[in-house]
Chain A
Amino acid sequence: MKRVQFEHSPIPYLFIAPQIIIIVIFFLWPAAQAIYQSFLLEDAFGLSSQFVWFRNYTDTIFSDAWLQAAGFTLVFSALVTFLSLALALLLAVKANEVIQGASTYKTLLMWAYAIAPPVAGLMGNLMFNPLIGDLYAFMNTIGFDFDHKLDSVDAGFVVVLISVWKQVSVNFIFFLSGLQGIPKSVTEAATMDCKSSFRRFWTITFPLLAPTTFFLMVINITYAFFETFGIIDTTTQGAPGGATNTLVYKVFQDGFRGADIGGSSAQSVVLMVMVLALTVIQFRFIEKKVHY
Chain B
Amino acid sequence: MKYVSLVTAGFMTVAAPLAAQTDIEFWHAMGGRLGEVTEEIAARYNASQSEYNLIPTYKGGYEDTMTAGIAAFRAGQQPNLIQIFDAGAATIINAPGATIPVADLMAEHAGGFNSEDYIEGVRYFYADSDDKMIGMPFNSSTPLLYYNKDIFAEVGVDGPPATWEEFEEMAPKFADAGYQALAQSHSPWIFAENFHSRHNIQMATANNGYDSTDVEILYNNDALKMHWTKVKEWLDNGWYGFYGRAWGDNQDAFVQKKTAMWLGSSGSFGGLAASTDFAFGASYLPYWKSLTDEPYGTFIGGAALFAMSGKDEEENKGVADFLSFLASPEIQYFWHKETGYVPITNAAYELAKADGYYETTPDAEIGIIQLTQPGGEWTKGYRLGFYVQIREVMYSQVDNIFSGEATVDEAFATIEEEANALLDRFDATMN
> Which residue of chain B has its CB nearest to the CB of A259?
B91
**Most interface-central of B73, B396, B431 (chain A CB within 10 A):** B396
In chain B, positions 58-82 with a C-beta closer than 8 Å to chain A are: 63-64, 66-67, 70, 73-74
B415 to chain A, nearest CB (A): 12
Q: Mark B406-427, 1 if CB is under 8 A from A, else 0.
A: 1000000010001001000100
Which of these binds chain B: A7-15, A87-95, A149-157, A179-187? A149-157
Given contacts A44-B95, A256-B67, A258-B392, contact A239 B245 (CB under 8 A): yes
A238 partner residues in chain B, CB cutoff 8 A:
396
Q: Does A211 belong to the interface (CB within 8 Å)?
A: no
CB of B334 within 8 Å of the partner chain: no
Residues of B within 8 A of A241 (CB): 396-397, 399-400, 403, 405-406
Q: Do residues A152 and B63 form an inter-chain contact, with CB atoms below 8 A?
A: no
Report if A257 contacts B (CB, 8 A). Answer: yes
Interface residue A270 (Cβ < 8 Å from any Cβ of B): no
Stretch at the interface among B32-40, B252-260, B280-288: B252-260
In the assembly, what is the distance between CA of A65 and CA of B421, in Å?
Answer: 12
Measured in the bound complex, the distance between the Cα atoms of B392 and A44 in whole Å is 18
Complex CA distance for A40 and B338, rounded to whole angstroms: 45
Are the C-beta atoms of A150 and B402 separated by less than 8 Å? yes
Asked if A101 is an interface residue, CB under 8 A from chain B, the answer is: no
Query: CA separation between A63 and B287, bound complex, in Å?
Result: 35
Interface centre among A47, A131, A240, A259 (most CB of B within 10 A): A259
Interface size on B, as a range, is: 35 or more
In the complex the two chains form, is B70's CB within 8 Å of A44's CB? yes
Given A41-B429, A239-B245, A63 and B421 touching (CB < 8 A)? yes
List residues of chain A with CB within 8 A of the CB of B386.
258-260
Residue of A nearest to B70 (CB): A44
Give the Cβ gap from A33 to chain B, nearest Cβ, in Å. Answer: 12
From residue B221, how far is it (CB to closest CB) to chain A in Å? Answer: 22
Report the Cα distance A262→B256, complex, angstroms. Answer: 44
Residues of chain B within 8 A (CB-CB) of A254 are: 389
Q: When the two chains form their complex, are residues B249 and A131 in contact, meaning their CB atoms are under 8 A apart? A: yes
B297 within 8 A of A: no
Question: Could you say which residues of chain B place their CB within 8 Å of the CB of A143?
Answer: none
Task: Determine whether the beta carbon of B243 is less than 8 Å from that of A253.
Answer: no
B256-A131 in contact (CB<8A):
yes
Residues of A within 8 A of B414 (CB): 64
Do A150 and B403 have beta carbons less than 8 Å apart? yes
Contact assessment for A239 and B244 in the assembled complex, using a CB-CB cutoff below 8 Å: yes
Which A residues, 213 to 245, have Cβ-Cβ distances below 8 Å to chain B?
237-242
A130 within 8 A of B: yes
Q: A239: which of B91, B395, B405, B425 is its contact (CB, 8 Å)?
A: B395
Q: Is there contact, CB below 8 Å, between B95 and A237?
A: no
* A contact patch SS: loop
Which A residues lie within 8 Å of B351 (CB)? Answer: none
Q: Does A48 contact B (CB under 8 A)?
A: yes
Q: How far is the CA of A149 from the CA of B250 in the complex (A)?
A: 12
B252, A131: Cβ atoms under 8 Å?
Answer: yes
Q: Which of A52, A63, A131 contacts B243 (CB 8 A)?
A: A131
* Complex interface: chain B residues within 8 A of A46 (CB): 73-74
Instruction: Tell me whether A239 and B431 are in contact in the complex, defined as CB-CB below 8 angstroms, given that A47-B95, A258-B388, A259-B67 are known contacts.
Output: no
The reply to whether A149 and B70 form a contact with Cβ atoms under 8 Å apart is no
Q: Would B95 and A240 count as touching, CB distance under 8 A?
A: no
Contact B244 A149 (CB under 8 A): yes
Say whether B197 faces chain A, with CB atoms less than 8 Å apart: no
Q: How far is the CB of A152 from chain B (nearest CB, A)?
A: 7
Per the bound structure, the CA–CA distance linking A44 and B73 in Å amounts to 10
Cβ–Cβ < 8 Å partners of A59 in chain B: 421, 425
List the A side residues contacting B67 at CB < 8 Å: 256-257, 259
Across the interface, which residues of A come within 8 angstroms of B403, CB to CB?
150-152, 240-241
- Asked whether, in the complex, the Cβ of A48 is within 8 Å of the Cβ of B430, the reply is yes
Give the residues in chain B near A45, CB-CB below 8 Å. Answer: 70, 73-74, 92, 95, 98
Is the Cβ of A257 less than 8 Å from the Cβ of B388? Answer: yes
Q: Which residues of A contact B395 (CB under 8 A)?
A: 239
Is B111's CB within 8 Å of the partner chain A? Answer: no
C-alpha spacing A59/B386, complex, angstroms:
14
Nearest CB in chain B to that of A256: its residue: B67
Check: A134 CB closer than 8 A to any chain B CB: no
Contact partner of A48 (CB less than 8 A), chosen from B66, B258, B402, B429, is: B429
Separation of A259 and B69 alpha carbons in the complex (Å): 11
Query: Nearest chain-B residue to A245 (Cβ)?
Result: B396
Which residues of chain B come closer than 8 Å to A152, judged between CB atoms? 403, 405
Does any Cβ of B come within 8 Å of A145's Cβ? no
- Contact with A263, one of B73, B258, B425 (Cβ below 8 angstroms): B425
Q: Are A150 and B418 in contact (CB under 8 A)?
A: no
User: Is A149 a contact partner of B430 (Cβ separation < 8 A)?
Assistant: no
Whether B428 and A41, one on each chain, are in contact in the complex, defined by CB atoms closer than 8 angstroms, is yes
Asked if A129 CB lies within 8 Å of chain B CBs, one says yes
Over the window 239-276 of chain B, the binary record of Cβ atoms lying under 8 Å from chain A Cβ atoms (1 yes, 0 no) is: 00011110001001100101000000000000000000
**B10 close to A (CB within 8 Å):** no
Q: Which one of A43, A151, A260, A263 contacts B94 once the chains associate, using CB atoms below 8 Å?
A: A43
Task: Decide: A43 and B249 in contact? CB cutoff 8 A.
Answer: no
Chain A, residues 62-104, CB within 8 Å of chain B (1/0): the string is 0111000000000000000000000000000000000000000
Query: Which residues in A have their C-beta under 8 angstroms from that of B31?
Result: none
Name 5 A/B residue pairs within 8 A (Cβ), A-sorted: A47-B95, A131-B256, A258-B388, A259-B91, A263-B425
> Residues on A close to B: CB < 8 A?
41-48, 50, 52, 55, 59, 63-65, 129-131, 149-152, 237-242, 253-254, 256-260, 262-263
Besides A152-B403, A239-B395, A259-B386, 11 more A-B contacts (Cβ < 8 Å) are A43-B95, A44-B70, A45-B74, A48-B430, A52-B428, A131-B253, A149-B243, A152-B405, A257-B67, A258-B386, A258-B392
Q: Which 9 A-B pairs have the closest CB atoms?
A: A240-B399, A241-B399, A45-B95, A149-B244, A150-B403, A258-B389, A241-B400, A258-B388, A45-B98
